[in-house]
Amino acid sequence: MIQVKHDYVSISFIMIALVIFFYSSTWSGDMQIKSMIGAVLLIGGLALSFFMKFTSIGQFNNKIALYSVLAFAAIMATNFIVSLAPTMEVISAPISWALFSVLIAVSEEQFFRGLVTPYLCNSMGVTVGCIAAGAIFGIFHFAVYGTSVNALMVVTISGIILSYIAVYTQSITPGIIAHSANNFISSMNVHLSILAPNTPLNYCLIIAVTASICMVMMYQKRRSLLKCI
């Protein structure tokens, strides 16, 4: 059975997400609704994944750390390729940034990578399951991006990538780290346009993508050599 495990890093993110939920739920209006949706996805996803034995507790290791970087780099690369600067409401208060960067990211990862992905992969096979999980992830974001083709393409492709990495590493941590980092940069971009063309960070992220791919290739080569010894 395919499992997507937790470790001390993902558990730490979940604890932070729950603290953000309890605090943001005291606010009124739209923020309270968003925090409730995030909490339902997070708690419901956790309960169902453990009940259906799709998850357990594992160890954080170098492979997970490496693929966390690769997952983030892949999402950034997808954004650049599709030429997308996500359109979203202005995020001003620090608690709004925390809600979007941590609670929403962690809850979506738990539900879609921790529950939906292993369920579909166990039922349909890894390739079809990851594609189906990414498609469902994209459909879920109709509520955020409407009919924006670019945005939905990025979300769907990112969902497929994160699903495959979750299955390959048997860990939800790469998705949580990459998703949280992506959401944080997206919220910062609303104010600072840090991902605008020809900015230093733009080029730094492109270099990071290339470096991450090289790191993974070197890691895989090293593993192959060690097996031969």
What local confidence, expressed as pLDDT, does residue 212 receive?
A: 62
**2 within some domain:** no
Show the domain range for 128. Answer: 8-228
**207 within some domain:** yes
Q: What is the pTM of this model?
A: 0.83
**36 within some domain:** yes
What local confidence, expressed as pLDDT, does residue 62 receive?
A: 87
Mean pLDDT of 45-51: 95
Task: Count how many domains the chain has.
Answer: 1
Query: Quick count: other Cβ atoms within 10 Å of Cβ 118?
Result: 26
Q: Kindly indicate the confidence band of residue 89, based on its pLDDT and cuts at 50, 70 and 90.
A: very low
Round to whole Å and give the CA distance between 10 and 66.
15
